[in-house]
Amino acid sequence: MAAELRRLRDQADLTQQEVVDATSINKATLYRIETAKAKPQKRTLMTLLALYNAEPEQRDYLISLLKDSTVQGWLRPYHSELPEEYTAFISFESDAAGARNYESLFVPGLLQTEDYARAVIRGVLPAATDSEVEDRVQARMERQDVLTKTKPIKFWAVVDEASLRRGVGGPGVMSDQLAHLTKCAKAPNITLQVIPFGAGAHPGMPGQFILLDFADPMDTDLIYIDSMAGDLFLESAADVRRYRSIFDNLVAVALSPNDSASLIADIPKRS
């Protein structure tokens, strides 16, 4: 619903402020609706659909979504302490049919062990309290349920070799993390490839991204980027094409899944 309402607003060539001015809907409320932080009341939804001149098919689809919606299983009380953009991403990820994730410096979140996740979060957020660190660790572990649910997400990860060589948390943590990656890579819904140092420069060097796709054709593909400048969602057709092309190039540069598994297994022997 969030993705479709954003798409309809863009199609109507309206900014969030113009919607607020035309409808008197609170700007914070509109933001929370568009980031899947809150679901709209029916009268709010009907007001937005009228303003956006939604087609009858779109109108019926979104009204049925609102009628059938329930509180997301991923939403826990402590999630209110997490950044809104991150909780929105968790929501989108839980509904996605597939995810393509490139990481240059980290093991993908869906494949992290708890100890590795804790070490990463402490390192990246040195000012975070113990409670804040544990909230984020718990949220990351819960995210991994998408890999083992009844209809698991199809997860394709490409990582730079640097993400496997960096000693996050110390030798013991990394040894367990590499063993976990080896186990995860055997799952039928997970593909894991490594770009070796020998590949030289490649299109993923500017940074990580996740591309989500959905089973419902009404749901647009979504790109999520987590950076020091903040979390960013992209969903325009041009952006989706560009990131699909980048991911395809990364797959071509990376080792095959079998050769990647061999490289991962060999790292502890050479450490």
The confidence score (pLDDT) of residue 79 equals 53
Per the DSSP assignment, residues forming a β-bridge with 195 are: 160
User: Would you say residue 74 has pLDDT above 60?
Assistant: no
Q: Which CATH class is domain 2-68?
A: mainly alpha
For the chain, give the percent of residues with pLDDT over 90: 64
Is pLDDT above 80 for 145?
A: yes
Q: Considering the chain, what is the average pLDDT of its residues?
A: 89
Residue with the two structure tokens 């890999």: 147
Task: Identify which has the larger pLDDT, 74 or 185.
Answer: 185
Q: What pLDDT was estimated at residue 32?
A: 80
Q: Domain spans of the chain?
A: 2-68, 78-270
Overall residue count recorded for the chain in this entry = 271
Asked if 76 contacts 91 with a C-beta cutoff of 8 angstroms, the reply is: no
At residue 78, the pLDDT reads 46
Q: Which two tokens stand for residue 210?
A: 């996740």
Long-range contacts from 220-228, C-beta under 8 angstroms, 24+ separation? 220/3, 220/4, 220/7, 222/3, 222/92, 222/96, 224/89, 224/92, 226/86
Q: Do domains 2-68 and 78-270 have the same CATH topology?
A: no
For residue 222, give the 3-state DSSP assignment. Answer: strand
Whether 75 has a pLDDT exceeding 50, the answer reads no
Q: Tell me, what amino acid is at 249?
A: N
Q: 92-130, pLDDT tens digit by residue?
A: 898 899 999 999 999 999 999 999 999 999 999 999 999
Residue 73 has a pLDDT of 45
pLDDT at 25: 85
Q: What is the pLDDT of residue 229?
A: 76
DSSP string of 44-101, one letter each residue: HHHHHHHHTT--HHHHHHHHHHHHH----TT--GGGGGS-HHHHHHHHHHHH-SEEEE
pLDDT-based confidence at residue 157 (cuts at 50, 70, 90): very high
- Report whether 203 contacts 252 (CB < 8 A): no
Is 70 exceeded by the pLDDT of residue 234?
Answer: yes
What pLDDT shows up at residue 80?
A: 54
Give the CATH class of 78-270: alpha beta
- Residue 220 in tokens: 């647009």
- Which pLDDT value is given to residue 218? 66
User: With 70 as the cut, is the pLDDT of residue 249 above it?
Assistant: yes
Look at residue 264 and tell me whether its pLDDT is greater than 90: yes
